[in-house]
Chains A and B, each alone.
Chain A
Amino acid sequence: MTIEWGWLTTHTDDLLALTLDHLATAVPAVLLGLLIALPLAVVAHRVRPLRGLLLGISNIMFTVPSLALFVLLLPITGLTRTTAIAGLTVYTLVVLLRNTVEGLDSVPAKVREASLAMGRGSLGTLVKVEFPLALPVIMAGVRVASVMTISLVSVASYIGYGGIGQLFTDGFQRSFPTPVLAGVVLTLLLALAADAVLVVVQWLCTPWIRKGARA
C-alpha cells in the first residue's frame, strides 16, 4: 500500500472540518444518552420489576445493525443530523444504563438510610449522596460509550453525517487508500483524546477520591 503523504498536507483543512463535524454528531449523542439513561437507571434501580425489562430492551436495541437503524429513522427525522444523533444515542444507552444501575447498586443501603435519617429528602439523597458515590462506575460507562460512539459515527456517512467516515466512502469509491487510513488513524486519535478529557473530568468531579488517595 502506498500512502500519498502529499494528500494529507493539502487536505489538513478538510480533515479538521471533518473532525469537528464528527464531534458535532458524537458529543450530543453521548450527552443525550446520559440525559435519558440517568432517570431510567434510577427507575431500574428503585423498581426491581422494571429493571430486567429496561436492561433487556436496551440490549435488544443494541443488536439492531447501526446502518439499518439510521435508515429506519429516516422516515421520522429525515436526512438530518438529528437522525445520526438519535441512532447513536440508542447505542450509548446499553452501556450508560447498565453502568449507572450498577453504580447506584454499589452504594451501600446504609449510606442512603443515613442520609435519609439526617433529614435529606429522597431526591436530595439521590443527587447529593447516591450519584456522587456512583460516579466512578457511571464515568467508566461514559468513557466506553464515548469511544464506541466516536467509532460508530462513521456509519452515518450513508446519510451524510459520518464526519470522518466520509473519508472511508470517498476512498472506497475512488480506490484510494490514503484517506481511508487517515480516517482510521484520526478516529483512533479522537477516541483517545475524548477518553483523556473524560479522565480529567472525572478527576475534577471526584475531589474526595483524590484526597483519599493522598492521605
Chain B
Amino acid sequence: MDLLSKLVAWLTSAGQWAGSEGIAQRLFEHVEYSLLSTLVAALIALPIGLFIGHTGRGAFLAINLSGFGRALPTVGIVTLVFLVSGLSMTPVYISLVALAIPSIVTNTYAGMAAVEADTKDAARGMGMTGLQSLWRVEVPLAAPLIMTGLRLATVQVIATATIAAYVSFGGLGRYIFDGLAQRDLTQVMGGAVLVAALAVAVDLILAGIHRVLFRHRLT
C-alpha cells in the first residue's frame, strides 16, 4: 500500500499539475489528440456506414474490412508511418483514426440495417425521395446505435492515445513512457489512472448526452 500512498501524493501535489509539463497540460494534449482523431474518423466512417446502411450495397465488404481494421496492431502502424514519414504527429493521428473507424462503421451500419423495411417503404410511399427518407426517417431511427459507435470509438482512442508519447509527443502517455524509462512505477500508475479516469469521464458525459437526446425513445 506504500505504492498507493505514493500514487495519491503524486496525483494531488500542486506542482505536478502546473506548468508546461504538468498534468493539466498533458490532459489538454491528450483530449486534443483524442478529439481530433475521433472527429476525423467520424467524418470518414459515418458517410461509409450511412451509405452501405441506406443502399445495402457493399455491406459484406465494409463489415469485413472493419473486422480487418480491428486486427491492425496500433504500435505497428505508428512505427511504420513514423519510419516512412518522419517525426510528426501524422503517425499518431493515422493510427488513432484507423483504430476508431471500425467501431463507427459497424455500429452505423447496424443502426441503419435495423430500420424496418416497412418504415422505409412508408417513407417512400409518402412521397419522400431517397435522401429525404435517409435524413428524416432512417438516420433519426439509427441515431442511438450510431451514438453508441461514436462512444466506443472515443473510449478506445483515449485509451490508446498514449502512443503519442512513444514517438516523443505529449499527452498522458508521457507519464507512462517516462515512468518506464526512469523505472518510476508511481509515475506509470499515475498516468494509467489519469487515462482511465479521462476515458470513463468522457464516456459518462457522452452517455448523459445520449440519454438527453433520446429520452423520448423506448429503447
Instruction: List residues of chain A with CB under 8 Å of any chain B CB.
Output: 1, 59-60, 62-69, 71-72, 74-75, 144, 147-148, 150-152, 154-155, 157-158, 164-165, 167-168, 171-172, 175-177, 180-181, 183-184, 187-188, 191-192, 195
> Nearest B residue to A61 by beta-carbon distance?
B196
Instruction: List residues of chain B with CB under 8 Å of any chain A CB.
Output: 3, 67-68, 70-77, 79-80, 82-84, 155, 158-160, 162, 173, 176, 179-180, 185, 188-189, 191-192, 195-196, 199-200, 203
A136 to chain B, nearest CB (A): 16
Report yes or no: A64 in contact with B76, Cβ–Cβ below 8 A: no
Q: Which residues of B contact A195 (CB under 8 A)?
A: 67
A102 to chain B, nearest CB (A): 13
Q: Which residues of B contact A175 (CB under 8 A)?
A: 83
New contact pairs (18) apart from A171-B79, A177-B80, CB-CB < 8 Å = A60-B200, A63-B200, A65-B160, A65-B195, A68-B188, A68-B189, A72-B189, A147-B71, A151-B71, A152-B73, A165-B76, A168-B75, A171-B83, A172-B82, A172-B83, A177-B84, A187-B71, A188-B72
From the candidates B75, B185, B196, name the one contacting A60 in the complex (CB within 8 A): B196
> Nearest A residue to B179 by beta-carbon distance?
A71
Report yes or no: A68 in contact with B73, Cβ–Cβ below 8 A: no
B194 to chain A, nearest CB (A): 10
From the candidates A65, A152, A154, A184, name the one contacting B176 in the complex (CB within 8 A): A65
B62 to chain A, nearest CB (A): 16
> How far apart are the CA atoms of A171 and B75 in the complex, in Å?
12
Report yes or no: B83 in contact with A180, Cβ–Cβ below 8 A: yes
> How far apart are the CA atoms of A213 and B203 in the complex, in Å?
40
Q: Which residues of B contact A151 (CB under 8 A)?
A: 70-74
> How far apart are the CA atoms of A167 and B73 in the complex, in Å?
12
Report yes or no: A62 in contact with B76, Cβ–Cβ below 8 A: no
Report yes or no: A63 in contact with B196, Cβ–Cβ below 8 A: yes
> Nearest B residue to A175 by beta-carbon distance?
B83
Q: List 14 A-B contacts (CB under 8 A).
A: A1-B84, A59-B203, A63-B195, A64-B196, A65-B192, A68-B192, A69-B192, A75-B3, A144-B70, A147-B71, A155-B75, A158-B180, A164-B73, A187-B76
> Nearest A residue to B3 by beta-carbon distance?
A75
Report yes or no: B188 in contact with A147, Cβ–Cβ below 8 A: no
> How far apart are the CA atoms of A174 and B179 in the complex, in Å?
23
> How far apart are the CA atoms of A69 and B70 in the complex, in Å?
20
Q: Which residues of A contact B76 (CB under 8 A)?
A: 154, 165, 167-168, 180, 183-184, 187
B176 to chain A, nearest CB (A): 5
> How far apart are the CA atoms of A80 and B164 in the complex, in Å?
27
A62-B155, A68-B189, A168-B79 given; A184·B180 CB < 8 A? no
Residue of A63, A74, A187, A195 most packed against chain B (CB within 10 A): A63
> How far apart are the CA atoms of A171 and B82 in the complex, in Å?
11
A145 to chain B, nearest CB (A): 10
> How far apart are the CA atoms of A154 and B79 in the complex, in Å?
12
Q: Which residues of B contact A68 (CB under 8 A)?
A: 162, 176, 188-189, 191-192, 195
Q: Which residues of B contact A67 (CB under 8 A)?
A: 162, 176, 180
Q: Which residues of A contact B71 (CB under 8 A)?
A: 147, 150-151, 187-188, 191-192
> How far apart are the CA atoms of A157 and B196 in the complex, in Å?
22
A19 to chain B, nearest CB (A): 13
B185 to chain A, nearest CB (A): 7
Q: Which residues of B contact A65 (CB under 8 A)?
A: 159-160, 162, 173, 176, 191-192, 195-196
> How far apart are the CA atoms of A204 and B179 in the complex, in Å?
48
Q: Which residues of A contact B180 (CB under 8 A)?
A: 67, 71, 158
Report yes or no: B84 in contact with A72, Cβ–Cβ below 8 A: no
> Nearest A residue to B76 by beta-carbon distance?
A184
Residue of B75, B84, B162 most packed against chain A (CB within 10 A): B75
Residue of A1, A151, A165 most packed against chain B (CB within 10 A): A151
Report yes or no: B192 in contact with A72, Cβ–Cβ below 8 A: yes
Report yes or no: B158 in contact with A63, Cβ–Cβ below 8 A: yes
From the candidates A64, A152, A181, A192, name the one contacting B192 in the complex (CB within 8 A): A64
